[in-house]
Amino acid sequence: MSQPSVHSSLSSKVNRVRALVYKESLQIVRDPSSLAIAFVLPFVLLLIFGYGVSLDASHVPIAIVQDSRTPASEGFIASLRNSRWFTPRPYPDIHDAIDALKRQDVEGILWLRENFGRGIESFHNAPIHVVVDGVDDNTARLVEGYLNNTWQTWLTLRNQRERLASRLPIELQARIWFNPDNRSRDFLIPGLIAVIMTLIGALLTALVIAREWERGTMESLFVTPVSIGEILIGKFIPYFVLGMSGMALSVLMSHFLFEVPLRGSIFALTITSSLFLTSALGMGLLISTAAKNQFVAGQIAIVFTFLPAFILSGFIFDIHSMPSLIQAITHIIPASYFVTILQSVFLAGDIPGVIIPNSVALALFSVFLFALIRRISRKRIE
Amino acid sequence: MAPIPKSHPMADLTSPEALISANGLTKTFPSPRGTLTALDNITFSLKEGSITGLIGPDGAGKTTLMRLLAGLLLPDSGEIRIMGNNPSRDPLSVQGSIGYMPQKFGLYEDLSVQENLDLYADLQGVPRNRRKELYAPLLSMTALSPFGKRLAGQLSGGMKQKLGVACSLVHQPPILLLDEPTVGVDPVSRRELWEILRKLVRESRSTLFVSTSYLDEAERCDEILILYNGKILGSGTPESFRKEVAGHGYRAETPGQSPRIVEPTLSLLPGVVDTVLEGSTIRIVMGGDTPPTFSESLGEIILKSVPPRFEDAFMSRIKKITNATPKLISIDRLYPRQSRNKNNKNGSPYAIEVENLVRDFGSFRAVDNLSFHVRKGEVFGLLGANGAGKTTTFRILSGLLAPTGGKLVVAGENVRRAAAHARQSIGYMAQKFSLYSQLTVFQNLTFYSSAYGLSGTQQKEKIQDSLIFFELEPYRNVSSGILPLGFRQRLALSCALIHEPSILFLDEPTSGVDPNARREFWHIINALATVGVSVLVTTHFMEEAEYCDRLLIMAQGALLAMGSPSEIKEKTKSPRIPDPSLEDAFVSLLSDFKKTQGDQK
């Protein structure tokens, strides 16, 4: 019964891995905290990012100061009022408007000077004076952009109406591709999937292995004929399935609840997600070789996997606008490759030029991590 | 590769080699204070088909030795052979032929009893068609049959321990290694486990290696290996150890005087190796056959010869290498008389009065109508099986938990109304080391004295006195986390006493501590009691219970028996056990209680 030959045959290896996977599955199903990290946390994150967090500005209060009322200025203000971006508030003069800006009653000031009407009539163009509150840089830039946009649109319409279009030799026609509505939700939610899979793959895996050390079950496992490789596979399989389920939940929610388009194929999504999840599990297993209690494991996983996936992956903050040193760091963060893939698969479609190089990077990460884990893991307590 | 037994390993008993042997085994660990030698050149072999006890206090190196045998650690030097295999080089072969239970039992708490068994059977490659016949005896032996579907996390401590043993036996290993299986488990469960182990050896000729820090468990083994500071201090049968000290043991009665006061003096008499309180008597062990002689000034002492026991031999051996004699310590400097009396506002002779105490957790009654009184200067023991309500009672008394009902007066204060005030007169020493392990001894004392409002010269003097009194001066600037266990215990006690409380709560104060350190610890406790401090102690250690003036035994939250150790022993005298030990008494009281419970159902 205890001959090593029996223990090293393939069928006994498969039996042991199956026993470990079954055990882990029972634990996942019975432990509310595992299920919470795998399903409740993604659900809550998706709700927050789907409904709560929006990087778009809408109905921004803006002060309007008219030095003189003319049909042209009234027309432009009416078009502002009709846009969903602004809520114009008239102020009698610029000093009152500046006070309002200081009180943060308004996010910006639109000042139509004395010569606005004349400028429009004679040159079919006129200076407008825009002051924005730079405290919130993001909103300030949006206000500026939207105002510019509204102004151009109004001007074009006016010129067309007066059949004077030919007088304008060059005209800007802005069109945003892949996210025509410019909804931040549409690019946030695909990125969020990378964060969720990092949570399940790295944080949850590192925690459950640390728990085995804390409770002494790892010591018991070690004193059975099970090999370290079997223990690793026994952890990998169930959390891979759990991670893909979390992924499926996120895709379903994003598609049906938040109406994020999925222009690429499910196939590409599955393959790339598997690659990323493998690297995330690799990080979790690597952490667990060093961290033998849940507190340390949790801290390491959050600092080295979750936060980078959140901040440095391009999920919220654009990598190209980061300092070059930080940009260099993003190259060693698997999530940054996956976020690029996800945003393109969801919003643009299966683009081989994006998917293939980034997938290769993820595959390399996975191979490197698992080779490292295999090298440093020992079936010993030390 | 080493030769591998072809058939069932049990068939290979004819091999001239011992089943387990170790030769020149040394293991060191890096530690903040240089290299720590856990095992120092250990050589031994185990007898087949018997139980060998690995006896030693915490920190002796027991767990390290077990882990080396199981292939979980690599030795620095030396060699281990288990059935011809070397666990350091070929751990998988060894791990298939041993059963191993680590200290925390190694059970999956969110898996049921049956699922835990199945998991280990799968990992050990037990064929499915053989499982039914293998499980049946394991489950009946451990009495776990009715609980197959219960989650392991919901089992009592004793049941977990039995399930741990069952899991390590699923593949019928010829060798079973158990690392402190009985730590933190009540005497009834301990006894049941030993019966299981004995049965195992009798019926399947297994070879068992069981580590323990309970000296009384040594007597239940066939062979004993004493491990002390990483070295083997002796080996042999319990009988051979007892023979060494035959005729060296006496029991002294001190009519008219408290044994608590006489005992420290006796311990310093020439030729005395060991003295220990046993209820109202003192057990004395001499270094040779000459009985002790007492001077007239000690008063009347009646001496009776007693049969030897393993612990006497153990203490004799330790005394030879440590040469440390318990010192008479002046308690008066540390505990000025005026402070002792500061809480005696009322004339009540009691330090603690508990009447009809009730505590419910939801529908579960943890403490059920409990009443008792603790006199000033009394050492009062709280005993009971795991889950009997001892900890709850303790927490209520120290004001950490509100009672559901009943009257509770501690140091003259009604705890229900003035918990904070009552707490000022209470010192509490938790079972787990609860000081700041990163702080040094001095920093811990400074923190606790500041927390109790001491400052300036008064604080400085108090800290200095404590360092001297508890012999912690050499460790003054050592982080408390790396102190030897016995000194950690002393530091914990010195912090608990820094505000000179009139009542001291001790929760399993010396579990795992080496017997020498335990005696020194109790010398301090006894000294405190003689100056009027009341001590309330919970323990699973029957020896510690013997130190108490009176005991209260709890079962399912209610009072089962109360009285002095000798009164309790007297209660359970029967033709079958004419001279019961305290453990016999405890076990018989609890099993009687369980029987009546069963009858009522």
Residues in A closer than 8 angstroms to B100, CB to CB, are 220, 223
- Assess contact for B357 and B372: CB atoms under 8 A: no
For residues B54 and B195, membership in a common domain is answered with yes
- Does B336 reside within a domain? no
- B182 and B313 share a domain? no
Q: Is B119 on the interface with A (CB under 8 A)?
A: yes
pLDDT value for A177: 58
Same-domain status, B31 and B157: yes
Same domain, B276 and B215: no
Among candidates A6, A18, A223 on the partner chain, residue whose Cβ is nearest the Cβ of B72: A223
Query: Residue B197: inside a domain, yes or no?
Result: yes
Which of B211, B236, B261 represents a domain boundary (last residue)? B236
Residues within 8 A of A (CB atoms), B 195-254 only: none
Per-residue pLDDT tens over the stretch B354-373: 999 999 988 888 899 999 99
Q: Do B95 and A19 touch (CB under 8 A)?
A: no
pLDDT, position B444: 92
By residue range, what is the domain housing residue B275?
244-328
Check if A14 contacts B (Cβ < 8 Å).
no
Flag whether B504 is in a domain. yes
Of A110 and A128, the structure prediction assigns the larger pLDDT to A110
Q: Which residues pair with B275 in a beta bridge?
A: B284
Interchain CB distance below 8 Å, A216 and B126 = no
In a domain, B398, yes or no: no
Q: Do B111 and A23 touch (CB under 8 A)?
A: yes
Q: Indicate the residue among B236, B267, B300 that finishes a domain.
A: B236
In angstroms, what separates the C-alpha of B105 from chain A's closest C-alpha? 7
Q: Are strands B426-429 and B503-507 parallel, antiparallel or unpaired?
A: parallel
Confidence of residue A175 (pLDDT cuts 50, 70, 90): low
Residue B367 lies in a domain: no
Query: Any CB–CB contact under 8 A between B92 and chain A?
Result: yes
Partners of residue B67 in chain A, C-beta under 8 Å? 219, 381
Q: Taking CB atoms and an 8 Å limit, are A19 and B98 in contact across chains?
A: no
pLDDT-derived band at A185, boundaries 50, 70, 90? confident
pLDDT value of residue B437: 84
List, for residues A77-90, the tens digit of each pLDDT value: 888 888 777 888 88
- Stated pTM of the model: 0.79
**Nearest residue on chain A to B5, judged by CA atoms?**
A3
In a shared domain, residues B84 and B230: yes
Model confidence at A164, pLDDT cuts 50, 70, 90, reads low
Joined together, the tokens standing for residue B288 give: 């040779």
Report yes or no on B131 lying in a domain: yes
On the question of pLDDT at B384 being above 90, the answer is no
The enclosing domain of B427 has a CATH number of: 3.40.50.300
Total CB pairs under 8 A between chain A and B? 117
Q: Kindly state the DSSP code that residue B292 receives in the 8-state scheme.
A: P
pLDDT in the model for residue B345: 52
CATH of domain A60-167: 3.40.1710.10
Are the beta carbons of A27 and B119 separated by less than 8 Å? no
Which of B180, B210, B236 is the C-terminal boundary of a domain? B236
- The shortest C-alpha distance from A9 to chain B (Å) reads 11
- Our CA-based measurement puts residue A315 at a distance from the nearest CA of chain B, in whole angstroms, of 37
Give B140-191 pLDDT, tens digit per residue.
888 888 888 999 988 887 888 889 999 999 988 999 999 988 877 788 888 8
The count of domains in chain B is 3
Q: Are residues B224 and B292 in the same domain?
A: no
pLDDT at residue A24, as a whole number: 94
Q: Looking at the structure, do residues B125 and B268 belong to the same domain, yes or no?
A: no
Predicted pLDDT at B359: 92
pLDDT at B10 > cutoff 60: no
Percent of chain B with pLDDT over 70: 93
Name which of B214-228, B315-329, B384-398 the model is least confident about. B315-329
pLDDT in tens, A28-39: 999 888 888 888
DSSP state of A166: G
| Gap between the Cα atoms of A165 and B584, Å rounded | 108
Asked if residue B546 has pLDDT above 80, the reply is: yes
Q: Are residue B20 and residue B159 in the same domain, yes or no?
A: yes
Work out the average pLDDT over B515-534: 87
Confidence of residue B11 (pLDDT cuts 50, 70, 90): very low
Query: Of the candidates B274, B278, B280, which has an alpha carbon nearest to the alpha carbon of residue B311?
Result: B274
> Do B445 and B315 belong together in one domain?
no
Q: How far is A223 from chain B (nearest CA, A)?
A: 5
Q: State whether residue B398 sits within 8 Å of chain A by CB.
A: no
**Is B296 in the same domain as B232?**
no
For residue A122, list its beta bridge partners: none
Q: Specify the CATH number for the domain of residue B283.
A: 3.30.70
Which of B101, B106, B119 lies closest to A23 in CB terms? B119
Mean pLDDT of chain B: 85
Residue ranges per structural domain of chain A: 4-53+183-376, 60-167
Whether residue B175 sits in one domain with residue B27: yes
Are residues B164 and B278 both part of a single domain?
Answer: no
Q: Which residues contact B86 (CB under 8 A, 6 or more apart)?
A: B2, B79, B80, B94
Strand partners, B36: B29
**CA atoms of A24 and A208, how far apart (whole Å):** 9
User: Is B326 a residue whose pLDDT tops 80?
Assistant: no
Position A3 pLDDT exceeds 60: no
In sequence order, the 6+-apart residues with CB closer than 8 A to the CB of B580 are B569, B572, B573, B574, B588
* Chain B neighbors of A380, CB-CB under 8 A: 71-74
